[in-house]
Structure formats: structure tokens, C-alpha cells
Copies of this chain bind each other. A is one copy, B any other.
Amino acid sequence: MSIAKEDRMPTPERTSLAEIVAAAADLLETGGPAAITMQAVAVRVGVKAPSLYKRVRDREALVALVMASAADDLLAAMSTAGRTLADIARGARRFAHERPQSFRLLFSSEADSDILARTSEPLLQAARSSVGEADHLEAARLITAWLVGFLTMELAGAFRLGGDLDTAFEYGLSRILAGLRS
């Protein structure tokens, strides 16, 4: 008659943190940051919104996880592209074109500064090889700043006075590299 504790099986897990982050990343790329809604994420992973709080502290923490994951993908795109400053810059631009909302979220405003620091690591290494130990930090900051600014503005549609943006990108890159050599 009495029901032993062991008979009440815990409900099985119906989702996972990885699935939740992936769903949020999908929503981001489809509809921008505002589309990352606890309700929308919950629907995608097949639970109700309150259940998400078992896996994630709050919405802000979820967005931070999405950003960290995007940073990993950006790093992969950069390192796949090559080892020179130009290679890495072009790899970052390719990522920005493929995942514009992820890139914008990463570099527009509220990203953890840890994440920003992490993604600039490859450029720091490449700068060391390119300009030597002395100025490598400032050289990396120069090219990182230009790259982030260029891609942010390109994605925002801020370059509207005509001209080919591929050309503008290569122009900027070559002038910066020339400046670093001089």
C-alpha cells in the first residue's frame, strides 16, 4: 500500500543547456537579440519557460552563453583562415557575413570584455610575427579596432556613398599594413 520513495521516478530531462543555447543562437540570427525570449526558447526546446531556469540563471546569462559560443565560432573562422594579419582579418569578415547578428551582438555594447579580449588573441599573435615584440600590442589594437569598426559599420549599412566594399576592405587592410611597416 505505501509507496516507497524509489517508486516516484524523477521526471526525465527533456532538454539540455546545449540545446537551449543553440535555440537561442538560432533565434538571434533569425530575428535579432530581441527575438531571444524565454518563451520562444522554451517553445523551441519543448518545455515551458519556467523550466529554463533550471539550466540558466536568467535571460542575461543565456545571452552571455550565446555570445561565448559565437566567440568560439569566430575564433575558429579566424584560425581556419590563416596566420597572417590579412588572413585573420578576412576570416573575421567572412564570419561577420555568415552570422551578422552574432557578430553584431559580440561587438555591439554589452559583450563581456573577456570575450572581446579572447577574440583578439589571434591578431595579437599575428601582430607579434609581423611587427616584432616592441609594438605588437598597439599594432594589434590598431588592426582590431579597424576591423571591428569596419565590419560593424558594414553590417549596419553605414557605408552608403557607393564604391565596392570588398575594395574598401582591402584598401584599409593594405594601408594599415603599410602604416605598420613605416
Chain A residues at the B interface, C-beta cutoff of 8 Å: 104, 107-109, 111, 113, 116-117, 120, 124, 135, 137-139, 141-142, 144-150, 152-153, 156-163, 167-168, 171-172, 175-180, 182
11 contacts between A and B (CB under 8 A): A104-B109, A111-B156, A116-B158, A138-B163, A138-B167, A141-B172, A142-B168, A147-B149, A148-B153, A149-B150, A178-B178
A103 to B: closest C-beta gap in Å = 11
Distance to closest chain B CB from A11 (angstroms) = 36
Which secondary structure characterizes the binding site on chain A? helix
Residues on the B chain within 8 Å of A172, using CB = 138, 141-142, 145
Q: Which residues of B contact A113 (CB under 8 A)?
A: 156-158, 160
Give 5 closest A-B pairs by Cβ, nearest first: A149-B149, A179-B179, A145-B149, A175-B179, A116-B158
> Closest CB of chain B to A143's CB: distance in Å?
9
Task: List B contacts of A182 (CB < 8 A).
Answer: 175, 178-179, 182
Interface centre among A135, A141, A160 (most CB of B within 10 A): A141
